[in-house]
Amino acid sequence: MQQEGYQVVTASNGREALFVAREHQPDLIVLDLMMPELDGWEFLRRHRQERNTPIIMLTARIEDMDKVAGLEMGADDYITKPFSPRELVARVRAVLRRLEPAAEKSDLLRAGALELDRAAHTLKKEGKLVELTRMEFDLLNTLMSSPGRAFSRLELLERTQGYAYDGYERTIDVHIKNLRKKIEADSANPLYILTVFGVGYRFNPDL
């Protein structure tokens, strides 16, 4: 990462990582789940109570349940060991690219009780702020920007992460599930984000 021009701070265990994150307030965290003293799961839980820093999970475990659990706890992405340094750099770049302000996206998007402010990077529902992870915000922004259009999971992954790999597209389902819990009155019968069976998702154009 340093060879690519990034400033890097490290921690050798979970407790140190909490201190480092508070002290340096990084733009992004690459989080190893298998840390001593305080594992990545507990770090993620505690850090999410304080900040909404984008987090990429590093794990040697490949169970789908671990991936789903991490995403549901607020991680933005995951990468399974072994991996190439180039893949890690590409993912970090993609996440950081999503943080860059875009002047042409300074307008408000409104639908039903939702108001998405792309300049302020906020969402309000019935006038009240709704806390979203960056991935959730980017997903909602993509869907609301093209109401009625059906997006495949790979398309959504490409538009929000900057890359798309077969096998990773199902992570979109987890983020959509989390998003629905926050914006829908009944997440089991969604009004805003509709499932297009065999394809992916679309935003309801009739609001």
Q: Tell me what pLDDT residue 65 has.
A: 64
**What tokens does 43 get?**
């770090």
Q: Could you tell me what percent of the chain has a pLDDT over 90?
A: 42
Lowest mean pLDDT among 77-81, 129-133, 167-171, 177-181: 167-171
Residue 126: exposure state from Cβ atoms within 10 A (0-12, 13-18, ≥19): exposed
Q: For 162-170, what is the mean pLDDT?
A: 63
Q: Tell me what pLDDT residue 67 has.
A: 67
Residue 76: exposure state from Cβ atoms within 10 A (0-12, 13-18, ≥19): buried
pLDDT at 103 > cutoff 70 = no
How is the chain split into domains, by residue range? 1-100, 102-207
pLDDT at 45 > cutoff 50 = yes
Q: For 113-126, what is the mean pLDDT?
A: 93
Let me know if the fold of 1-100 is the same as that of 102-207. Answer: no
- Asked if residue 47 lies in contact with residue 53, where contact means CB atoms within 8 angstroms, the answer is yes
pLDDT at 105 > cutoff 50 = no
- Counts for the chain of helices (H) and strands (E), in that order: 7, 10
State the Cα–Cα distance between residues 55 and 78, nearest whole angstrom.
Answer: 8
Q: Tell me what pLDDT residue 2 has.
A: 84
Type of residue found at 84: S
Q: Tell me what pLDDT residue 102 has.
A: 47
CATH topology for 102-207 is: Arc Repressor Mutant, subunit A (1.10.10)
Give the architecture-level CATH label for domain 1-100: 3-Layer(aba) Sandwich (3.40)
- Asked if residue 57 lies in contact with residue 33, where contact means CB atoms within 8 angstroms, the answer is yes
| CB-based contacts of 132, cutoff 8 Å, min separation 6 | 123, 140, 179, 182
Task: Give the highest mean pLDDT range of 58-62, 83-87, 142-146.
Answer: 142-146
Q: Tell me what pLDDT residue 61 has.
A: 66
Please give the span between the terminal C-alpha atoms of the chain, in angstroms, as a whole number.
45
pLDDT at 44 > cutoff 50 = yes
User: 140 versus 103: which is more confidently predicted?
Assistant: 140
User: 113 versus 76: which is more confidently predicted?
Assistant: 113
